Each structure stands twice: as C-alpha cells, then as structure tokens.
Structure 1
Amino acid sequence: MNKTVNINLAGIFFHIDEDAYLKLQGYLEAIKRSLANSQGSDEIIADIEARIAELFNERVQNNKQVIRLKEVDEVISIMGQPEDYVVDDEIFEDEPHTNSSQKTHTKKKLFRDADNAYISGVSSGVAHYFGIDAIWVRLAWILLVFGLGTGVLLYILLWILVPEAKTTAEKIMMTGEPVNISNIEKKIKDGFENVSQAAKNVSDSVSQAAKNVDFKKSTNSIKSTSRTFFDSLADAVMLLFKIFSKFIGILLIFIGAVTLIALIISLFSVGVADIIHIPGFENIDILNIGNTPIWLVSLSIFFAVGIPFFFLFYLGLKILINNLKSIGNIAKFTLLGVWIISIICLIVFGIRQASEHAFNESYIKKTALPITAKDTLIVKMVHSHKFNSKRRHNDFKLTHDDHGNKVLYSSDIRVMVKSTTDTIATLSVIKNADGRSFDAAIARAKNIDYHYAFTNGTLLLDSYLTTNAKNKFSDQEVDLVLYLPENTVVYFNSNTKDFIHYRTHDDHLVSSKNTNHFIKILDNNSKCLDCPDWEEDDINIEVSTPEIKIDNNGIKVDSDEIKININSEGINIKSNH
C-alpha cells in the first residue's frame, strides 16, 4: 500500500503516488540545478511546471485519479532529461544534440499571437498555424469583409473562441515545436536577450537542420524496413482523411457564417422595422392575421434557426482548430434552452395563425335584376387603375381609399351563370372569408366591400373587392352567380374573360370561351347564337376518348356515348341514350 501526496503544480491540484512524487521532485530539482546560473531561470521553471501540469491533465480521467510512476515517466520522456540538456548558448549551435526530448513532436495548436498583433493577434496566430506570412492572412480578412461580408463575424468569433498564447509553452505549441526543457529555455532566452534577426535566422537554420535530420532518420528508417509499405499506405490514407475533414470544416464554417449573417440582416430589416414602423412593411402585417408582434416572430425565428447554425459554425472551427476554446457548459445549456423556447413560441404562433383559417363562411346578398325571358343582358367588368384589377388574382395589396383610410384590395372575383325557372333574373353576391370561429368568419365576410350597377340592360361589375386593413388577409373572395330565366340571352364583354372559368362546371353554363358572343340560356344548358359551328361544338360538347380493344375475339370500342362489338357473329352497336 503506497501513500498519496497532494501537490499544487502551476495552480492545479493533483493526487500523486509517493514514489512518483519523489521521482518528480528529484526531476524538478535537477532542472533547477541545471538552470541555476541561467537568465530568467524562474520563468523557465514556471513554464516547465505549467507544461508538466498540462501533460498530467491529459492523462487523468477525473480529479480523483492518482498519478503513478507510469505517468511521470511518460512526462519525463516528453520533456527530456536534465543531464541530456546543454545549458546556455549551445542550443544555438548548428549541430543539434541527440536527446529524448527531440524524439517528441508536438502538433500545432491555434493561439492568438498577441506579441505580433495589430488588433487581437488572430491573423498572426492563423499564420503560425498554417505556416504562412501574416500579411496574406490580413489580406484574406480584407477580401472577406469587402467581398462576401463574412470576415467581421468570423474574426470576432475567432477573437472570442481562440485562446491567447500567454505562457511560453503555448507560444512554442503555436509554432509546432516540441514543448520540452530545451525549447522552453530557448524561448525565454530569446525574450530576455532580445535576439537579433541574425540570431533568429541561425535558429531557423537549426530548426531546418533538425527537420533534415528527422527526414534522414525517416529515410533510413524506411530503408531499414522499420516502416512497412502498409504503414506508409495507412499514413497516406490518414492524410487524405485529414484533408477531407479540413475541407468539411471550412464548408461548415462558410454555411454557418452566411446563414448567421443572413439571419442578422433579416432580424434588423424586419423585426426592428416593425418596432420603429419603417414604411413599406405594412404588407407583412396584413398577413399576420393572429396579430402576433412581428419583432417577436423575427426574434424567435432568429434563435430557432441561428442557434443550430451557430453550433454548425462552431463544429467547423473545432474541426480546423484542435485547441479551440470551449464556450462552456453554461453557454451551451443556455443556448439550448433559448432554442427550445423559440421552437415552442413558433409552434404557438403557427397554431394561432392556422386557427384564424379554421372556418370559411359566406355572407350572401341577392338582388333582382329587371331581366326576363327573351331579354338580352350585357355584362361588363369595371376596372380600376388604382387597384390594378384588369386580371383576376387572389393576391392582397395595401393602399388608401379616397378618405385616406388603409384598405386591402384584391381581384379574387369569379362570375358564374346558372339557369332558373323564375321569370326574373337574380344576382347573388357571395362574400367568403376565414376566421377562427363561425362568428369571426361571418363578420369578416360582411366587412367585404363590393359594388356593382345595372343600367340600360347592362350589368357593371367591379373587378375588385376591398376591406378595411384591420380585417387582415383571411382569404376574402367574392363569387357572383347570375340566375337567368330560360331563353334569356347574355353577352359577356371581352374584359370579363379572366373572371370566368375556362370551362363549364357545376351547372355553370358559360365559359371564358363564350365572351364576345351572344349565349342563349336553356334548361341547364346554353347555346351560342353567333358562334361558328366548330366553335359551338367545342363549347357545348365534351368528347370523351373511346377505349379500343383488338384481340382474337374481335374488335371492341367502348365510350360514354356508344359501345361497338365486332366479332365472328357480326356487328353489335349499343347507344347509352
């Protein structure tokens, strides 16, 4: 049974086995002795301890796990042995020293480089990460800002989410160098001595020489068959997978950023415009039959759509950046809660909006016309330039009437003709509208304004309807049904063509093809008095396509009007009439 010791390493508490503690303590004491006469030794020791604490954190699953000799040995193998380390300026010599620390390679991590920053160090950090000059990254930001417009949002999010390289270990990891004793002391020596550009070039030469050495070692390793062909193939596949994953990350960032920017623009252009009543947004309000505040709907849509795309954007950053700062569980659960509330609000708004169309009711008003059998009735539509009603449509638009009141108008007008046994003609004006209840639908239908006039045997029908803007858009429409006595002749002006159905149906005796012709109304039928024979037949006769079957038994022709059967027994013809 071994004792455990609680230690504080770089501000982080660890439980460590007594044997492991003694080895770690001796290791740190040996480093302190080797750096006793070095400039900035205290800062070097502090950064070494911070790096060791970071490596311990990577190896423990929870804060109650005990660090043992195995973990200490692994950390020492990464950091290097003090006796292998050559102090002072020997680290700048052309020939690198062979030690255990040089066998460890650290993966690059993205940090903000505040030492070379103009604003926050994002550009310098990205440049270190991709191994390019920072000027190219800054030019890319300019193109994104003035080109696609995503640069500002992306820069701000990177500023928030990417941590700043504060410790020496983080600054080393930013360049991709191994975080060991040698590199930590080297980095701090550079800061204390303000190494000149020439010394930096020498240092770069040393790094390149180290890379060359590593390459030669890899080559010799391949030649000595320490790496098999399949190992190399696996590395190539992994490289392709990493490239593909980076592409996916960039794609997710682009999609998320574009969507978030579009949502922000929509929020300010619709929601804010509703609050401060910017002219031109009244048409949105007439569709809001449930009277839900537009700004509240816009805000709910922004969060309901924007939060998933924010996490999509964040996922893309996580794929590209290994050490991306977490937004924290509090922020994650807060955003999740806001998203759920937004979804619930949108569902409530949708149900409220749909309930306003639950009932469709009609208000009917009939008017007798002084037209009897053998009279001729002329029907014309009265158009309005103000209401743009030359053609039938069910779209609603907002305008002001002659008294300055806001009104909705539409050309959703339909004209039908039916025969009647009465001695006098009748015009039935059927006003239709939706509502959340029977009474609400009837009230909206009654509030539809529609006008017509009869003079000198001519019926003048308005080609538009109007209603007060307070009634909102609730599928208001007007159906006009002309009940004409038998043997009455009706003539529809050409401007009525768009308001009459293109074919007869449901006892509707006149189609749009009958305009500009005199039509005689019969018993549930009609006859064109001045149409060419072929046109009259086309109007009044519906020809069905016969079904023809030919087989060994003979020939069969079957249609709605007649059936013909030709076989060995002869010809058999049957008529349905």
Structure 2
Amino acid sequence: MNKTVNINLAGLFFHIDEDAYLKLQRYLEAIKRSFTDSQGRSEIIADIEARIAELFNERIQNNKQVIRIKEVDEIISIMGQPEDYLVDDEIFEDEPQPSYKSKLKASKKLFRDTDNSYIGGVSSGLGHYFGIDAIWIRLAWIILILGAGTGILLYILLWILVPEAKTTAEKLMMTGDPVNISNIEKKIKDGFENVSETVTDVAKNVSDSVGTAAKNVSDSVSKATKNVDFKKQGNSIKSSSKTFFDAIGDIFMFFFKIFAKFIGIFLIIIGASTLIALIVAMISVGVGGIIPGLDLVDIVNAGNTPVWLVSLLVFFAIGIPFFFIFYLGLKILVNNLKSIGSIAKFTLLGVWLISIIGLIIVGIRQASEHAYDESVIDKKELAITAQDTLKIKMLGNDLFRKKIGHSSSFKLAHNIDGQKTIYSSDITVIVKSTSDSLASLSIEKSADGRSYEKARERAQNINYNYELKNGTLFLDSYFTTDPKNKFNDQEMVLVLYLPEGTVVNCHDNTKTFFPYRNYYGTIITYKDTNHYLKVKEDSVECLDCPVEEPRKELKIDVDVKGEDSSLKINNKGVEVKVDSAKLKINNTGIKAKNEDVKVNIDSDGIEIKSDS
C-alpha cells in the first residue's frame, strides 16, 4: 500500500503516487537548475510544466486514477533528461551539438499562426501543416475569393474553428517539432532574441541618424534588453498593436461561442429529457401495473419474450446514443469537462451493440409467430328451406362492446365470471346460393402461428355463438379467446348457404359485416341490407326496392343548311359538311373526308387514305 499525493501542475489537479511524486520533483528540480542562468527561465519552466501536465492528462482515464512511476518514466522519456543536451547559449551556435531525439515520432497539428499573420493566421498555419510556403496558400485564397467568392466563407470558418497556437507546446506541434525541453527552451530563446535584435536594430538606426548622443541611448537600450522582462514587454506591444482583423476575429468568435452554447444547452435538454423518459418507462414496466394497458402488450407478445427484457434492451438501444448527445452538450458548455475514458466508451458501445442484436432477435422471434396462417371450419345445417323467409341480425354484448360493428382490432375485456378474455369483432359475413334443400352455416376460424400446429390450435380455441330462433338467425358480432392464446391475427368468416328461392332480410346492424363488393363470391353486399331479397342462382332479386322508371329517350333533330355548308344533329349522331369536306360522328366512330384525304376512327383503330 503506497501513499498518494495531490499536486497542482499547470493549473490541473492530479493524484500521484509518493514515489512517483519524488521522482517527478527531482526531475523538475534538475530542469530548473539547468536553466539557472538562462534568459526567460520562468517562461521555459512554465511551458515544460504545462506540457508535462498535458501528457499526464492524456494517460489517465478518470479523475480518481493515480499516476505511478510508470507514467512518470514515460513522460521523462518523451521530454528528455537535462543532461542529454546543452542548456546554455551554446546550443544556438553553428557547431554540431548532441541532441535528444524523442522516442515518439512528432506529428503536426493544425493551428493558426498569429505570429506570422496578415489577418487571422490561417494561411500561415496551413503552410506549416502542409509543409509549403504560406504565400501559395494566400494566392489560393485570392483565387477562391475572386473566382467564386467561396474563399471568404471558408476562411471565416477556418478562422473560427481552427485554434490559435498560443503556448510554446502548441507552436512546436504546429511545425511538427517534438515537444520536449530542448525545443521548448530553443523556441522561447528564439523569441527573446528576435525581440532583442529588433530593439537593437531600432537603436542602431537612431544612432546612425543623430550621432554620438543617440549612440549612448542605444547602448543603454541594449543593456536594458538583457534585464527587461521581454515576455511582458512583448505582450504589451502585441496588445497595443492589435489589428482591425483581430477585432473582427474576436467578434466572430464571440458569436460563434454563443451559438455553440445554445447548441450545447439544446443537446443537454434533448438528451436529459429522453433519458428521464426512458428511465421512468423502464421502471414502470419493471414494476408492472403502473402504465395503463401494459397487459395488452403481453397479449400481442406472441413470442413470450419477457416484457422487462424488451424494455431493458430498448432502454440501452435508445438511451446510450442520447447519453452521448447529453455528454456532447456538456462538453460544449464545460471546456475542462473530464473525459469518461476509453473503457467506459467501449463498454457502452458493446452494451449498445448487444441491445441492438437482442432487439433484432426479439423481432425475428415475434415475426416467426406469423409464419403460418391456418384455419378450421365448422359447418352446420339450419332448418331453413326454399319456401322460408330468413331474417339475419347481429347481437352485441354490454360487457365487451355496446356498439355493434366490424373492427379488425382487439380488446382485453372481462367476461361474466370476471375472467380476462380477448374480444374482437373481425367477422365477415358471406351469403351464397345453394341447390340443397336446407340452408347451412359454415364458420371458418383462422389464426397465425410459428408452426402449422400452433396456428391451428389458436384457431380452434376461438369461441363463437349463434342461434336460429323463430326464423331469425342471431349472430354474435364478436368472438372471444383465452389470453394465453395471445392475439395473433385471429379472424372469422361466416358463410351462409341459402337454397334458391329463399327470401332473406338482413338487419341494418349487419351492414358493416358484409363486404363492400362481391368478394368471396357473396351475393349480398353492405348496400343490400335492410331489404327483402329473393335468392336466385348466384344472385338475388330485391323484392321491396323502389322501381326505377324507364328513362325517356330525348329526341334531337337539328338540320341547318347554307349555301356551301350544312349541319345535322339527331339521335344518330352529328354530320357536318363544308364545301367538299364532310365530318360524321355517331356511335360507330368518327369519319372525315375531303377530295384528297379520308379518315376513319372506330373501335378497330385509325384508318387514313389519300389519293397520293
């Protein structure tokens, strides 16, 4: 059991093993001793600590993970030991110097180079990234802007989306140099030398123009540059010389950040509300009885998959993507939000894939319950002859449904004994003529199943009643079955065979149970109800339907003649003559002709003749 230490490195909080902490402390102290007399010592050490903190942050999976000696050794191997290279000004001389090469190959990252920028540093950053001179990138922008104008929008997008290289480590990554102590020191010293040379050049120019007096000023300035805080002065100069384009960039970034915050809030609301709804639904289904109508779900669950398992699979299949939407919204709002770690991400991905596969299996299992559609037929004779008059009426049940009418849906109800039962009105009534002396009723029950036997068993378990009493056939407008049979597209077809000559009257409440057209060979449709009909061979004769009066033929007779033309209209058709041309239209077709052409259009087609 080892003791742990909490440290704050470059503004980031870490848990570190005591032995690892001591080794890291000795390493940092050695680096500080190496830069005792170096220019910009504090800036170099600050950038080194920031880089070490960044490397530590990449290696930990969560905020409770402890940094061990292994991680410290990895960081030291990347950053290098102080004794591996020179740390004084000799490193910048032309003589070859021993240098430390990182074991890891440095990779470039895209940043905006504002140190060499005209507007926002996009072109210079792209030049570093692709290894070409920035002037060619700038020429490409000019061509895009002058050509189609799309360059402006693209430049603005890159200006907003590509980060600026602010720290020394980011500037090294921008150029593809390894981010180690040697390069950090060299980069900072280069910056100080550039400032020192600039100030010295200015002083020299002043000295040449004003003489000896100015030379003294130059000497003073040159000496001052060795002691002045160049980082502070450089920031002061940069702040005072901020360009117009920098201000425009800040405005764009301001509005972009506001827009991003709104997007983040929107994603958080969507993700959180969906997750809460899924959690409530899953708990309700798991407890059972909380959600009304949950027993209906169990009835259609022909595959007998546990409802709690389906709800759990649905929760993960939908909830995990919305969790990442919620997490993305948090990442947009909170800049330094801790990552959930690769292990958690891959675990959630695996659970999501398992849930999707599970739902597919459940769906296939449910679909297989409809693989077979089988039926059973029960046919019984009725004491109805060709000389009888039969009335047909549907009966309802107040316990199930008061309104009588055809419906393909189902309902869970309680019978007179208080037991649950599946109730449906998916019944179709068909009437056909027969040459037999007695009428008969064929009851065809059908259902689906994963096998022939299962489908037939479900069909046989359908309960249906009818009664013939005093010349009236009372048919139940519903059928029932036990909930254990599940609802699997159970339906019924009643085929009533009536002897030729029988008179039948169908009550008005039977209308919705008859087909709308002559389907299944029925001789009675919904429009024939509430009439007395006499059964004939494959048809019926309405005995009380209103008799339509014969249509009176309208006689048309128009005959108009002129000097060169004539018009004749009568019941035979229309005939027009103009000079030598003639047009005739009647029930056989259209005929037209003149001196040169004849046209005949009838049921056989089009015929055209000409003298040529």
Distance change in 2, residues 1:426/1:574 (3 Å): farther
CA distance in 2 between partners of 1:379 and 1:253 (Å):
63
Q: Secondary structure at the match of 1:71?
A: helix
Of 381-390 and 298-307, deviating more is: 381-390
Deviations 1:473-516 (A, max 9, x none): 11111111111222222111111122222333232221212221
Distance change in 2, residues 1:424/1:322 (3 Å): same
Residues 445 and 493 of structure 2 are in contact (CA less than 8 Å); yes or no, is this contact kept in structure 1? yes
Q: Secondary structure at the match of 1:324?
A: coil
- Find the counterpart in structure 2 of residue 282 from structure 1: 295
CA distance in 1 between partners of 2:448 and 2:405 (Å):
23
Residues 399 and 414 of structure 2 are in contact (CA less than 8 Å); yes or no, is this contact kept in structure 1? no
- Find the counterpart in structure 1 of residue 592 from structure 2: 568
Q: RCO (CA 8 Å, sep 6+): is it higher in 1 or 2? A: 1
- Find the counterpart in structure 1 of residue 262 from structure 2: 247
CA distance in 1 between partners of 2:530 and 2:440 (Å):
22
- Find the counterpart in structure 1 of residue 184 from structure 2: 71
Q: Normalising by structure 2, what TM-score?
A: 0.57
2:519 to 505, 511, 521: 505
Aligned amino acid, residue 469 of structure 2? T
1:396 to 410, 418, 428: 410
> Where do 1:412-431 residues align within 5 Å?
412-431=426-445
1:323 paired with 2:336, answer yes
Q: Secondary structure at the match of 1:532?
A: coil
CA distance in 2 between partners of 1:415 and 1:365 (Å):
15
CA distance in 2 between partners of 1:452 and 1:536 (Å):
43
- Find the counterpart in structure 1 of residue 241 from structure 2: 221
Residues 367 and 428 of structure 1 are in contact (CA less than 8 Å); yes or no, is this contact kept in structure 2? yes
Distance change in 2, residues 1:267/1:11 (3 Å): farther
- Find the counterpart in structure 1 of residue 450 from structure 2: 436
CA distance in 2 between partners of 1:27 and 1:555 (Å):
115
CA distance in 2 between partners of 1:103 and 1:352 (Å):
75
> Where do 1:128-527 residues align within 5 Å?
218=239, 220-222=240-242, 227-229=243-245, 231-273=246-288, 281-388=294-401, 390-527=404-541
* Number of aligned residue pairs: 400
- Find the counterpart in structure 1 of residue 575 from structure 2: none
In the alignment, structure 1 segments of 5+ residues that lack a partner are 1-7, 32-44, 79-97, 106-213, 538-551, 558-562
CA distance in 2 between partners of 1:360 and 1:484 (Å):
28
User: Shift of the alpha carbon at 1:264?
Assistant: 0.6
Residues 397 and 410 of structure 1 are in contact (CA less than 8 Å); yes or no, is this contact kept in structure 2? yes
- Find the counterpart in structure 2 of residue 541 from structure 1: none
> Where do 1:56-135 residues align within 5 Å?
63=75, 64-66=77-79, 67-72=180-185
Aligned amino acid, residue 592 of structure 2? S
Residues 494 and 515 of structure 1 are in contact (CA less than 8 Å); yes or no, is this contact kept in structure 2? yes
CA distance in 1 between partners of 2:318 and 2:377 (Å):
45
User: Shift of the alpha carbon at 1:29?
Assistant: 13
CA distance in 1 between partners of 2:234 and 2:549 (Å):
93
- Find the counterpart in structure 2 of residue 135 from structure 1: none
Q: Secondary structure at the match of 2:481?
A: strand
Aligned amino acid, residue 241 of structure 1? F
Residues 56 and 75 of structure 1 are in contact (CA less than 8 Å); yes or no, is this contact kept in structure 2? no
CA distance in 2 between partners of 1:343 and 1:24 (Å):
58
Distance change in 2, residues 1:295/1:58 (3 Å): closer
Distance change in 2, residues 1:103/1:53 (3 Å): farther
CA distance in 1 between partners of 2:541 and 2:251 (Å):
83
Q: Secondary structure at the match of 1:305?
A: helix
Aligned amino acid, residue 327 of structure 1? I
CA distance in 1 between partners of 2:539 and 2:601 (Å):
32
CA distance in 2 between partners of 1:420 and 1:571 (Å):
50
Distance change in 2, residues 1:257/1:498 (3 Å): same
User: Shift of the alpha carbon at 1:291?
Assistant: 0.9
- Identity across matched positions, percent: 47
Aligned amino acid, residue 301 of structure 2? N
Q: Secondary structure at the match of 1:481?
A: strand
User: Shift of the alpha carbon at 1:56?
Assistant: 6.6
CA distance in 2 between partners of 1:554 and 1:102 (Å):
105
CA distance in 1 between partners of 2:602 and 2:454 (Å):
59
Residues 435 and 441 of structure 1 are in contact (CA less than 8 Å); yes or no, is this contact kept in structure 2? yes
Q: Secondary structure at the match of 1:506?
A: helix
Q: CA RMSD in A?
A: 4.3
Q: Secondary structure at the match of 1:454?
A: strand
User: Shift of the alpha carbon at 1:16?
Assistant: 8.4
Residues 9 and 49 of structure 1 are in contact (CA less than 8 Å); yes or no, is this contact kept in structure 2? no
User: Shift of the alpha carbon at 1:9?
Assistant: 8.7
Distance change in 2, residues 1:307/1:478 (3 Å): same
Q: Secondary structure at the match of 2:356?
A: helix
User: Shift of the alpha carbon at 1:75?
Assistant: 8.1
Q: Secondary structure at the match of 2:374?
A: strand
Residues 359 and 437 of structure 1 are in contact (CA less than 8 Å); yes or no, is this contact kept in structure 2? yes
Distance change in 2, residues 1:235/1:361 (3 Å): same
User: Shift of the alpha carbon at 1:339?
Assistant: 1.1
Q: Secondary structure at the match of 1:390?
A: coil
Deviations 1:48-104 (A, max 9, x none): 9965742676899984423232324668999xxxxxxxxxxxxxxxxxxx9566689
In the alignment, structure 2 segments of 5+ residues that lack a partner are 1-18, 60-70, 80-179, 192-227, 552-580, 594-598, 605-612
CA distance in 2 between partners of 1:286 and 1:221 (Å):
76
Deviations 1:97-117 (A, max 9, x none): x95666899xxxxxxxxxxxx
Q: Secondary structure at the match of 1:510?
A: coil
User: Shift of the alpha carbon at 1:375?
Assistant: 2.3
User: Shift of the alpha carbon at 1:303?
Assistant: 0.7
User: Shift of the alpha carbon at 1:24?
Assistant: 4.7
